Structure 1
Amino acid sequence: MFLNVAQLQVRYPDRARPSVDAVSFGLRAGEVGVLIGPSGCGKTTLLRAVAGLERVTAGEIRLAGAVVSSASVRVPPESRRIGMVFQDYALFPHLSVQDNVRFGLHHQARSDQQRRVREVLDWVGLASSAQRYPHELSGGQQQRVALARALAPAPQLLLLDEPFSNLDVELRERLALEVRGILKAANTTALFVTHDQMEAFAIGDVIGVMSEGRLHQWDDAYTLYHRPATRFVADFIGHGVFTPATLREVNNQIVVSTAVGELTDVAECPLPCAFTAGECDVLLRADDIVHDDDAPVKAEILRKSFRGSEFLYTLRLKTGETVMAHVPSHHDHTLGEWIGIRAEVDHVVTFNRACPVNHHELCSMPCAAHATSAAQEHLLQRQEKP
Structure 2
Amino acid sequence: MVSDARNGAVAMTRRSGVSFAANLAFENISHRYHSKDTIKGVTLKAEAGEVLCLLGPSGSGKTTLLRIAAGIEKQTGGRLLLNGQEISGPSIFVPPEQRGVGLMFQDFALFPHMTIRENVCFGLTELPKKKALLQADAALERVGLLHYAERYPHVLSGGEQQRVALARALAPRPAVLLMDEPFSGLDSRLKDSIRADTLAILRETRATAIVVTHDAEEAMRMADRIALLKDGRLVQVGTADELYRRPCDLFTAGFFSEINVFDARVRDGHVETPLGVVATGQYTEGQPLSVAVRLSGIRLDETGGEIPARIVSRRFLGVVELLELAVPQSERTVRARIRADLLPQGLRDVTLSVNERDILVFEKDASTP
TM range (shorter): 0.7 to 0.9
- Which whole-Å CA distance do the structure 1 matches of 2:48 and 2:327 have between them? 49
Residue type of the alignment partner of 1:231: L
Inter-partner Cα distance in structure 1 for 2:274 and 2:312: 17
Matching of residue 240 in structure 1 with residue 259 in structure 2: yes
Check if 1:122 corresponds to 2:141: yes
* Conservation of the 8 A alpha-carbon contact between 2:25 and 2:44: yes
- Rate the CA distance shift 1:279–1:57 in 2: closer, same or farther, 3 A: closer
Q: How does 1:126-145 map to 2 (within 5 A)?
A: 126-145=145-164
Aligned residue identity for 1:352: E
Distance between the aligned counterparts of 1:222 and 1:312, measured in 2?
24
Secondary structure of 2:93's counterpart equals coil
2:22 aligned with 1:4, yes or no?
no
Query: Which whole-Å CA distance do the structure 1 matches of 2:355 and 2:265 have between them?
Result: 17
TM-score (norm 1): 0.82
Distance in 2 of aligned mates of 1:333 and 1:35: 42
Query: Which of these residues, 152, 170, 173, is aligned with residue 171 of structure 2?
Result: 152
Q: Alpha carbons of 1:315 and 1:208: their partners in 2 closer, same or farther (altered >3 Å)?
A: farther
In the alignment, what sits opposite 1:308? 318
Distance 1:113 1:121 in 2: 12
Q: Aligned partners of 1:281 and 1:324: how far apart in 2?
A: 17
Cα offset for 1:104?
Answer: 1.6
Task: Kindly provide the CA deviation profile for residues 179-204 of structure 1, in whole angstroms up to 9, marking residues without a partner as x.
Answer: 11111111111111111222222221
Correspondence 1:351-366 to 2 at 5 A: 351-355=362-366, 357=368
> Does the C-alpha gap of structure 1 residues 89 and 332 become closer, same or farther in structure 2, counting only changes over 3 Å?
farther
31 and 129 in structure 1: CA distance in 2 versus 1, 3 angstrom threshold: same
User: In the aligned structure 2, how far is the partner of 1:334 from the partner of 1:39?
Assistant: 39
CA contact (8 A) 1:172 1:199 kept: no
Match of 2:340 among 305, 329, 339: 329
- After superposition, the Cα gap between the structure-2 partners of 1:205 and 1:306, relative to the gap in structure 1 and judged at 3 Å, is farther
Give a deviation string over 1:66-96, Cα, whole Å, max 9, x none. Answer: 1112233221111111111112111122222
Q: Which has the higher helix share?
A: 1
The equivalent of 2:8 in structure 1 is: none
Q: Quote the residue 1:293 is aligned against.
A: 302
Query: What's the C-alpha RMSD, in Å, of the aligned pairs?
Result: 2.6
CA shift in 2, pair 1:188/1:298, >3 Å: same
| Cα distance per residue 1:201-234 (max 9 Å; x no partner) | 2221111111111110111112111111122111
Number of equivalences: 346
Q: Find out whether 1:72 has 2:83 as its counterpart.
A: no
Q: What SS class does the counterpart of residue 183 from structure 2 fall into? A: coil
Distance in 2 between residues matched to 1:40 and 1:354, nearest whole Å:
22
CA contact (8 A) 1:156 1:188 kept: yes
User: With structure 2 as the length reference, what TM-score do the two structures score?
Assistant: 0.85
Identity percentage of aligned residues: 37
Structure 1: any 5+ residue segments left out of the alignment?
264-268, 359-386
Q: Name the residue aligned to 2:18.
A: none
Measure the CA separation in 1 of the matches of 2:186 and 2:196.
14
**Counterparts of 1:198 and 1:131 in 2: how far apart (Å)?**
36
Matches within 5 A, 1:43-192: 43-192=62-211
Q: Which has the higher contact order (CA 8 A, sep 6+)?
A: 2
Aligned counterparts of 1:311 and 1:141: Cα–Cα separation in 2? 34
